[in-house]
Amino acid sequence: MEPDQRIKVGGLKVLGGGTCLVSSFPGAEFRLGAQVTGPLAHNKINLTFLTHVAGDRTALCTSGEAGEGALALLQHLGGSKDAFKLQRDIAIVGVYPHDKRPEIIGAFIRSLARSMSRIFGLASSPSAITGILETRRKVKAVHQLFADFQFSSFADPREFFAAQEFPEEYVRKAVATYQEKVIKVYWVLSQPDLDLWAVSIPTAAILEEIADILTRLGSLGLAIPFLIAIPRLGTEELLFAFSTARAPGAPDQGGELRRLLHERLPGIRPMRLTPVAGIFLHGPHFGDRYGITHALVEALEQVNVSILAMSCTISSISLIVRQHELAPALMVLGQVFQAPVSGTPSAI
């Protein structure tokens, strides 16, 4: 992309030296709290990234030294070594802010695809879109991101890498400054009247196609408040789950989006669930202190609210629930988290 055609965004973040653990429990009775977030919290294992889709898959990242312990722990509790896979030496790469704009989210995914990076997960927060890839590919990925984006803080990759701290220095500062006993967040926001889409692509070779589809959603008047992607164990398949939002009074574009998916990705079977609602917790710093994600999961499980999809990345947690479960979800989260502000964001 020519320099004057690059998309302007605020910043770029890269955190290396971690491990990624992918799990899958197809067709099995699975509880996220009891089998994943609870044991990790009990053993004081911090998370830097987590994605989950109901009934099937979870991907999480932690520091390099904690990866083997997390794998052994969850394998023991899950009763199956085949349900987990550990990827060592991964990096988290993120671009912000995306402002729910499809062109930014699509361009980010396209950049990772063009850098020939193997993706172990994607997740959006209210501000950022992040990807998990091998640390050895991070330099090429950053160079491709600079080819596609114009960052306000850095002129080129050399300037960006010169400004980076070592991962252990970053973690040391974060943990040292975040140890209060009450889980505080900046605010808890809800967004009703969303559509939740699920699309499985059989191979990363067509990752650019899904990126182009997402980019075109803006022309349909749609925003993307939520997006995750999780690999399937033993295959090249990548499951995308994303929500779309339209302005109040705007026509339903579900048929047009389904047509676009079939046109660009023949043979796939997209699934749509509507209406659903999004809940966004800004700033719980779950990556700096263990147990925060589990506090959310446990609270929702106790009131029988089903988490359809969830992402934890860049110090924020986002989740999708059935719309009729939004009220009880907000009520119980208000009891668990101390939030000075609560409200509903604009749809677009």
The mean pLDDT value for 239-248 works out to: 96
The mean pLDDT value for 5-19 works out to: 92
Q: What is the CATH number of the domain that holds 138?
A: 3.30.2130.10
Residue scoring higher pLDDT (126 or 278): 278
Has residue 132 been placed in a domain?
yes
Predicted confidence band at 342 (pLDDT cuts at 50, 70, 90)? low
Has residue 6 been placed in a domain?
no
Residues 193-226 have pLDDT tens digits of: 999 999 999 877 789 999 999 999 999 999 999 9
The number of distinct structural domains making up the chain is: 1
Has residue 157 been placed in a domain?
yes
Q: Report the DSSP beta bridge partners of residue 316.
A: 282, 313
Specify the pLDDT at position 87: 93
Whether the CA torsion 285, 291, 295, 298 is positive or negative: it is: positive
In the predicted model, is pLDDT for residue 145 greater than 90? yes
Query: Could you give the CA distance from residue 307 to residue 301 in angstroms, rounded to a whole number?
Result: 9
Predicted confidence band at 185 (pLDDT cuts at 50, 70, 90)? confident
Specify the pLDDT at position 76: 84
Domain that holds residue 124: 11-348
Lowest mean pLDDT among 158-167, 223-232, 295-304: 158-167
Has residue 4 been placed in a domain?
no
Has residue 5 been placed in a domain?
no
Q: Which amino acid is at 32?
A: L
Could you tell me which residues come within 8 angstroms of residue 115 by beta carbon, excluding any fewer than 6 positions away?
137, 140, 141, 143, 144, 145
Q: How far is CA 301 from CA 33, 34, 36, 127, 321, in A?
A: 8, 10, 13, 26, 12
| Tokens, residue 223 | 């925003």
